[in-house]
Amino acid sequence: MPLDSNGLVNPGDYQKLLTAVRAGTQTAFDKVPQASGGTGKFTGPVDGQTFNILGPDTPGLKTPAFAPLGLSLVVPPSIASSQGAAELIELYWEAYCRDVPFVDFATNPLIAQAVADISNLSGYQGPTPVTPQTIFRYPFRDVLNGPYVSQFLLQKHRLDGVDFVPKIHTRARVADPNTGQVLGTGFDYMTNLAEYVTAEQSISYSGSVTLDPTPRYVRSIRDLGQLAASDSIYSIYFRAALIANAIGIPVSDNNPFLKDTRISGFGSFGFSHLLELIAKATAGERHAFYYKWYVHRKLRPEAFGNVVDGTLGGQFGGKTRFTINPALHPDFVKSSVLPLIFERNRQLNILRGFGNQGSLLLPQELATADPTNTMILSAGSPTHPASPAGHAFSAGASVTMLKAWFNTSVAWPVPVLQTDEDGIADPTPVDGTGVTVLGEFNKLAANISEGRNMSGIHWRISDNILGMLLGEQIAIEILSEAARTYAGINFKGWSLTKFDGTTITIDGSDFF
């Protein structure tokens, strides 16, 4: 949409967007103003009008209970609230620490600063106490145990007779992982107002994307962000199913053919059935887009960063460009990350030819360039509202299917692996105390959801927690509907442990 010189939407244009939302039609959204010279399109605004044959209708989900996870939430939180401040300050720290290897979290000085700062946030809703082992993780069963990266993202696997090594094409490092100083090898984006306004209006501009020429195992925040931007909706969970089957994770005790001496499952309770369930789970993306456009319309993190820069920049060496009422929460000016971000952005702006200017804008990891790598075609967030995250929806739904299928009460059956600082050599075994199949499924959902935050484009609470719990709800309802159709099969129901730690059995009697 068109933006003013401060990167803000004209209120009249926003009212036109609301008019389109009320109409809910392709024709209505086509009439919303577009920035002059911009080529960006709204993503999925009418998806929520499409009704799935399986599972709940797009508006039919129930607000999940957060209390069992130990959370006290307003979803989405106001940008003026302590929760809103905590969500963005956490993203600033993830952006600043993008190049810190996970294996070094326990000893890294930047992570130590992040731990101390986040521990003091009055509205923080992550696992506490905040430590190098718990930072940027989620309060799900066994997720705090073992390495940060789920074992499902590190295992070699075979598909269609082809052996795959899960090294990714990631982005070049931007900063020294111990000092935070810019190295001059890689870029983050939207670190100054001019670039922010241009990119937010989907106008291409001169610039390049710096990729790492060496494929690597996921080893850092930057790598995990890149992985979460490279998947094909449910491809990672398809991989997880292959891996779980290959390394001998047993199927659920409730599988009706587990002990049958005459029948093995195929289309019903065979491996093809599991792959079908995972594919069905991704229909939840339509639900995500219903809530994005027709319920929350939550601003993206880089837009919140512009508010911080515009209202607080003068206190850190920049300019105060506008005011808002109510004002931002005091936790912002107390945080130790803002001066670090201001200096990081200053260094990046010098490197990229934008002058000697700092800012409090949230540095963005993701950008795409034209085939000649001389023009930035897009940078920052996708062109749809933030809450809830589509990736979190699919993560919650797909992992719930996997937890229903496999026996998750067992310990991780093969050596627990950890990547080194470079991510080139194969991961090596480490202490696997407390690492379970359930935890690694939960961790997989959390990794892919939080990977989007690590790129600077989603939120912990209103995007990921909400999205994963709603995705779980979709999967449970699909399983409940399906349980009523298994004629001639001695099926006792699906049994699974939810993200909140409760175990349920789904036999169709609770059909919605």
What is the biggest distance separating any 2 CA atoms in the chain, rounded to whole angstroms? Answer: 75
Residues 150 and 6 in one domain: no
* pLDDT tens digits, one per residue of 123-176: 999 999 999 999 999 999 999 999 999 999 999 999 999 999 999 999 999 999
The rounded percent of the chain whose pLDDT value lies above 70 is 99
Question: What single-letter DSSP state applies at residue 161?
Answer: T
Look at residue 65 in the predicted model and tell me its pLDDT. 83
For CA atoms 290, 291, 296, 300, give the dihedral sign: negative
Give the containing element (helix H, strand E) for 115. helix 109-119
Asked whether residue 309 falls in the same domain as residue 375, the answer is: yes
Whole-angstrom distance, CA of residue 463 vs CA of residue 381: 13
Average pLDDT over residues 13-27: 96
Answer yes or no: is 38 within a domain.
Answer: no
User: Residue 470: inside a domain, yes or no?
Assistant: yes
Range of the domain at 459: 47-506
Quick one: pLDDT at residue 55? 86
* Cβ neighbours for 154, distance < 8 A, ≥ 6 positions apart: 166, 217, 218, 417, 419, 427
Residue 42 maps to a domain: no
Whether residue 330 sits in one domain with residue 254: yes
Q: Is the same domain home to 355 and 497?
A: yes
Average pLDDT, the chain: 95
User: Does one domain contain both 120 and 238?
Assistant: yes
396 plus 485 within the same structural domain? yes
> In sequence order, what are the beta bridge partners of 369?
376
Asked if residue 40 is part of any domain, the answer here is no
d(CA 441, CA 408): 9
Q: Which helix (H) or strand (E) holds 43?
A: none
Same domain, 23 and 69: no
Q: Is residue 41 part of a domain?
A: no
Overall domain count for the chain = 2
Q: Tell me the backbone φ, ψ of residue 107, rounded to 5 degrees.
A: -120, -5
Against a cut of 0.85, is the pTM above it? Answer: yes
Contact 95, 301 (CB under 8 A): no
How confident is the model over 55-114, as pLDDT tens digits?
A: 888 888 888 888 888 888 788 899 999 999 999 999 999 999 999 999 999 999 999 999
The answer on 272 and 124 residing in a single domain is yes
Whether 135 and 16 map to the same domain: the answer is no
Of the pLDDT bands very low, low, confident and very high (cuts 50, 70, 90), residue 16 is very high
> How far apart are the C-alpha atoms of 285 and 383, rounded to whole Å?
15
**Predicted confidence (pLDDT) per residue in 193-242, tens digit:** 999 999 999 999 999 999 999 999 999 999 999 999 999 888 999 999 99
Handedness of CA 261, 264, 265, 271 (dihedral sign): positive
Does residue 351 fall inside a structural domain?
yes
Are 10 and 65 contained in the same domain? no
Residue 512 has pLDDT above 60, yes or no: no
pLDDT for 511: 59
CB–CB of 489/256 below 8 Å?
Answer: yes
Contact 462, 296 (CB under 8 A): yes
pLDDT in tens, 377-386: 999 889 999 9
Q: Are 440 and 145 in contact (CB under 8 A)?
A: no
Q: Residue 347: which CATH number?
A: 1.10.606.10
Q: Which residues pair with 206 in a beta bridge?
A: 375
Residues 35-46 have pLDDT tens digits of 999 998 999 999
| DSSP type of residue 182 | B
438 and 321 in a common domain = yes
Residue 10 lies in a domain: yes
The sign of the CA dihedral 296, 301, 306, 307 is positive
Domain assignment of residue 287, yes or no? yes
Residue 418 confidence class, pLDDT cut points 50, 70, 90: very high
Would you state the pLDDT for residue 208? Answer: 95
Burial class (CB in 10 A: 0-12, 13-18, 19+), 63: exposed
Based on the domain organization, do 250 and 179 belong to the same domain? yes
Nearest Cα to Cα of residue 418 among 219, 272, 183, 197: 219
